[in-house]
Amino acid sequence: MYSFEPNEEQQMLIDAVGKYAANDLRPAAHDAEESRELPKKLVSKGWELGFLQASTPEAYGGFGERSAVTGALALEEMAFGDLAGALAVLTPSLFATPILLGGSEEQKQEYLPRIVGGDWAPYTAALMEMSFDFDPNALKTSAKADGDNYILNGEKIFVPFAKDAEALIVYANLDGVTQGFIVTKGSAGLSISEEREKVMGLNALPMYRVKLENVSASRLGGASGHDFELILSAMRIASASAAVGVARSSFEYAKNYAKERDAFGVKIAQKQAIAFMLAEMATEIEAMRLLTWEAAWKLDNNKDDAHIAAYLAQTGAADMVMMVTDRGVQIYGGHGYIRENPVELLMRNGRGFSSLLGLVIL
């Protein structure tokens, strides 16, 4: 039976996250970006909304079941507030969710209760590598079996909060297949850059480069490993829903600006040239939101084509968010180019979606 209505619980979550995004994340976004610093309180307040906690079963210290649909709804709201803030709040999920999806019982017991039961703490994951055609299914970082453990070698980029991370999942190539490995703080051969990564946007999110030289690690899921595709699809759907949130933010700013700004005796929104841009932005945002919801629903319901759906949703949303955030700047005209106004940051953040993967998971 088709339905496009979130259930009551989801609606409550959307409302709570929406309030936090509008009242906390959004007002802080500009200064956080410029100062390259997210206020700690802001992140803990987001953590206290309990998104990860509500996605973790009681047996592991949480109070709910994971649902990609629910996650997509919440993340769109949060990313509407600020992308860097949303990614920071959800960083512990980068470690916890793969364990939930593919970890052994022992790994779940060891990590999940302490992550979901405590304050926000820097648990993270390392997926990306510095290559123009970065492919999560063809990683250069390698893993080799060594008794019960595995030896990792390689270099990872854009790892959020790596500096202080208690533990991180490092994705590596094991005989041609991507697998996750749990690396703990202070492991021999693990080095984390002093300098933070510098990228076009997301300056408030502290990201680091991670080098692995014969680092010994345990495999996610134990000896038999895990299904990486499931994790990858959860990352793709997260990326798509965050893109929808960022696009919606730019659309809303642009719409409001166009209704305020006078030109030739009318508001610029009264000109079809602008009004049609806005109509197309709204249409594309809605199209990709629905595509993302459907992919998330397919993942939740183990549909055969769930992974293809997630791939297409990510691809489509990345194109959409670029188009929308570019137009957001365009509608503001010269003012859009000035960093005092919010749309240029949204455009920089929007550009990232086609290049970045694994910075968020649902």
Partner 1 sequence: MTIDFETPKPIAQMQTMLQTVAENMMRTTSREFDENEHAIPWGYVEFMHTAMRSMGGGGGLTVTDDKPKEGAEKRPPIGYQKLAAQIEMLSWGDVGYYLITPGGGLGAAAVQAAGNAGQKAKFLARFNDDKPTYAAMCMTEPGAGSDTSAIRARAVLDEKTNEWIINGEKIFVTAGDKSFTEYEKLGKGFVVVWASIDPSAGRSGMRAFVVESGAPGVKVTKLEHKLGIRASDTASISLVDARVPFENILGSPTVEKSTTGFKGAMATFDATRPLVAASGLGVARAALEFLKEKLKENGVEIRYGLPRQKLSNIEREVFDMEIMLKSSWLMVLKAVWMADNKKPNALESSMSKVKAGDVTTKVTQKAVEILGPLGYSREFLLEKWFRDAKITDIYEGTGQINRLVVARQILGYSGAELR
Residue ranges in contact with partner 1 by CB under 8 A? 1-7, 10, 69, 132-135, 137, 255, 258-259, 269-270, 272, 275-276, 278-280, 282-284, 286-288, 290-291, 293-294, 297-298, 301, 307-309, 311-313, 315-316, 319, 354
Please name every residue paired with 118 in a beta bridge, in sequence order, or none if there are none: none
CA-wise closest residue to 245 among 8, 35, 83: 83
Q: Contact at 8 Å (CB) between 23 and 35? A: no
Which CB, 16 or 121, lies closer to partner 1? Answer: 16
Cβ atoms 159, 168 nearer than 8 A: yes
| Shorter beta-carbon distance to partner 1: residue 10 or 193 | 10
Residue 335 CB, shortest distance to partner 1, in Å, is 19
* Closest distance to partner 1 from the beta carbon of 238 (Å): 16
By C-beta, is 15 or 280 nearer to partner 1?
280
Distance of alpha carbon 235 from alpha carbon 45, whole angstroms = 23
DSSP string, 178-220: EEEEEEETT-TTEEE-SSPP--SS-TTS-EEEEEEEEEEEEET
Q: In whole angstroms, how close is the CB of 1 to partner 1 at the nearest point?
A: 5
214/355 with CB nearer partner 1: 355
Judged by CB, which is closer to partner 1: 119, or 304? 304
Written as six digits, the tokens of 311 are 């791939």
What is the smallest separation between the CB atom of 268 and partner 1, expressed in angstroms? 11
CB of 133 to partner 1, least distance (A): 4
For partner 1, which is the closer residue by CB, 128 or 183?
A: 128
78, 72, 73: which is closest to 25 by C-alpha? 78
For the beta carbon of residue 154, count every other beta carbon within 10 angstroms: 20
Question: Does residue 124 sit in helix, strand or coil?
Answer: strand
Q: Is the CB of residue 29 less than 8 Å from the CB of residue 345?
A: yes
- Please name the residues in contact with 63: beta carbons below 8 A apart, sequence gap of 6 or more: 50, 53, 54, 56
The minimum distance between CB 76 and partner 1, in angstroms, equals 13
Nearest-approach distance from CB 251 to partner 1, in angstroms: 9
4 or 223: whose CB is closer to partner 1? Answer: 4
